[in-house]
A and B are shown apart, each in its own frame.
Chain A
């Protein structure tokens, strides 16, 4: 059965800290891995990773994929209270019973002032 596992499930840090969120996957016909940030409503797209070892960056956020070890990490440096959210990892496959995206349970990040 396809699955995506995120860790930790929740994390509390202080402003200025650096955090690393983990996502491992076991997905048949794996295509790509996506990270989303969810605050009050819809998930907002952050990154899509298809190739191993190539870091993607957007401001203080960066992410990388390891297709050999089947995991991805999301790094956030110099965290701010606005980074508080649930971070969802989703694996994208070429079809299958779950359609296009298989989500992990998310990591709830709380950044304290």
Chain B
């Protein structure tokens, strides 16, 4: 199983809503990532978790709150987002932050903030 599963696939939310994006993998990977991708741009790293601990936070606004409840799950909690936060949010995982291993991406959640 080389799959990273993200839910929901699409999400429309208002600026006052609270929602969560979910990511799951069962490959035994210990590093998990959130990326944000705007149209016609490459993915931009948001957060990195290594062994369920936040390893990197790329100066992401606090209205995005990641959570790693266990080694298979990664959540991204959203609150008071802005229309410019509309983007494709990609989750990825890899065996770890050391060694030569590729990252596997989920299909993404297409988020629209209205």
Contacts and interface: CB of A to CB of B under 8 A. Distances in A.
Interface of A: 31-32, 34, 36, 41-45, 48, 50, 88, 92, 94-95, 97-101, 103-106
Interface stretch (B12-20, B67-75, B76-84, B105-113): B105-113
B100 A105 contact: no
Contact of B105 (A31, A42, A50, A98): A42
Give the 10 A-B residue pairs with the shortest CB-CB distance, closest first. Answer: A103-B42, A42-B105, A99-B48, A48-B102, A42-B107, A41-B108, A99-B56, A41-B107, A99-B45, A42-B108
Contacts of B110: 41
B43 A103 contact: yes
B44 to A, nearest CB: 8
Q: Which of A32, A98, A99, A106 gathers the greatest number of chain B CB atoms within 10 Å?
A: A99
Contacts of B102: 34, 45, 48
Contacts of B105: 36, 42-45
A100 B43 contact: no
Q: Which range contains the number of B residues in contact with the other chain?
A: 20 to 34
Contacts of B1: none
Nearest to A9: B40
B42 A106 contact: yes
A67 to B, nearest CB: 13
Given A99-B48, A99-B58, A100-B97, A45 B104 contact: yes
Given A34-B102, A34-B103, A41-B88, A100 B108 contact: no
B21 interface: no
A36 B90 CA distance: 14
Contacts of A48: 100, 102
A105 B97 contact: no
B23 to A, nearest CB: 11
Contacts of A45: 102-105
Contacts of B44: 103
A51 to B, nearest CB: 10
Nearest to A93: B97
B103 A101 contact: yes
